[in-house]
Chains A and B, each alone.
Chain A
Amino acid sequence: NAGVTQTPKFRVLKTGQSMTLLCAQDMNHEYMYWYRQDPGMGLRLIHYSVGEGTTAKGEVPDGYNVSRLKKQNFLLGLESAAPSQTSVYFCASSYRGGRAGELFFGEGSRLTVL
Chain B
Amino acid sequence: QKEVEQDPGPLSVPEGAIVSLNCTYSNSAFQYFMWYRQYSRKGPELLMYTYSSGNKEDGRFTAQVDKSSKYISLFIRDSQPSDSATYLCAMSAGIRSYGKLTFGQGTILTVHP
Interface residues of chain A, those whose CB is within 8 Å of chain B, are: 4, 31, 33, 40-45, 48, 50, 58, 90, 92, 94, 99-103, 105-108
Knowing A100-B32, A105-B44, A108-B41, say if A42 contacts B103 (CB, 8 Å). yes
Q: A42-B4, A42-B88, A43-B103 are in contact. Are A108 and B97 (CB under 8 A)?
A: no
Contact (A48, B98) CB under 8 Å given A101-B49, A101-B92 = yes
Identify which of A31, A101, A107 gathers the most chain B CB atoms within 10 Å of its CB: A101
The answer to whether B95 and A100 have CB atoms under 8 Å apart is yes
* B contact set with A: CB distance below 8 Å: 4, 6, 8, 31-32, 34, 41-46, 49, 88, 90-92, 94-95, 97-101, 103-106
- A101 to B49 Cα, complex, angstroms: 9
